[in-house]
Amino acid sequence: MIKQLDLQHFEINQLLDAIYFRYGYDFRDYARASLERKILHRVNLSKLQNISEMSQKILHDPSFFNLFLKDMSVTVTEMFRDPYVFKKLEKTVFLQLKTYSRVNIWHVGCATGEEAYSMAILLHENDLLKHTRIYATDYNNHSLDIAKKGIYHQDKIAEYSQNYIHAGGKSKLSDYYTVQDQFVTFNPSLKEHITFANHNLMKDQVFAQMHLILCRNVLIYFNATLQNRVLKLFTESLVHRGFLVLGDKESLEFNNEKESFENIAKKERIYQHKANL
């Protein structure tokens, strides 16, 4: 007799195979506990009998699959999140960026774009923006649409202004946006330097040579296999002695790529690719 929990695992495996087979999205290497929680939550919300019913619905109803994609993508973010990271970048990494004539920066898993606009502001204040291209990517088209607009609700701005000051901002955050009807729109001069694009870490490849990659609060959703794949991708994308920044709960500690990087700021999770010998 099969146990309830084993049955659930079996159904989840079937669901993930069905999604891969039908839509090409491979969630089989996502961290299992949070994946299961999200699936069960959707089963309850949609009043389905069980996970197998969800598989059937996903196979035959692309709009239900889009709902699932939204469930899977946690887009919580903020401007100048962990301000001490931005401050450290300015004091260390930016010094090296200033030695290049052109700079490419990649924000991986940019969600609704706040992190990329924060970076553009800081680069501007360090006279680096004019020769920098920021690539900000995510696999969630809905959040990319918000990111491309650069329009955010005003109720977050007080907190963002505090973060900006703690990140070492040299002016006022309000210099970078206009306000209308409870919404702020970030200046087009920032957006000109940012390319927002769809990129799926489950399957897509390197698309440019990067001087700095920020992938914060994304790897926590992946298992070791997918983390290894993604970090290999970053190693291949970085220029000689390029930089990588992870989130505060992420590290290279148990990763295959660990030996390729030097940890140059522990608290801030900033790594630099070692010289190839």
Our CB check for ligand SAM shows the closer of 87 and 131 to be 87
Beta carbons within 10 angstroms of residue 81's beta carbon: 19
Q: How far, CA to CA in Å, does 273 sit from each of 94, 221, 267? A: 15, 24, 17
The CB-nearest residue to ligand SAM is 109
Measured distance CA(85)–CA(265) in Å, rounded: 9
Our CB check for ligand SAM shows the closer of 55 and 137 to be 137
Closest approach, Cβ 6 to ligand SAM, in A, equals: 27
Closest approach, Cβ 231 to ligand SAM, in A, equals: 13
Measured distance CA(209)–CA(236) in Å, rounded: 8
Closest approach, Cβ 51 to ligand SAM, in A, equals: 21
DSSP letter for 276, please. Answer: P
Residues that bind ligand SAM (CB under 6 A): 73-77, 81, 109-111, 115, 138-140, 143, 199-202, 216-218, 221, 247
Our CB check for ligand SAM shows the closer of 52 and 251 to be 251
Helix (H, G, I), strand (E, B) or coil at 198: strand
Our CB check for ligand SAM shows the closer of 89 and 201 to be 201
Closest approach, Cβ 23 to ligand SAM, in A, equals: 13
Closest approach, Cβ 154 to ligand SAM, in A, equals: 19
Among 217, 248, 230, CA closest to 114: 217
Our CB check for ligand SAM shows the closer of 196 and 221 to be 221
Measured distance CA(39)–CA(50) in Å, rounded: 10
In this structure, the strands spanning 194-198 and 132-138 are parallel
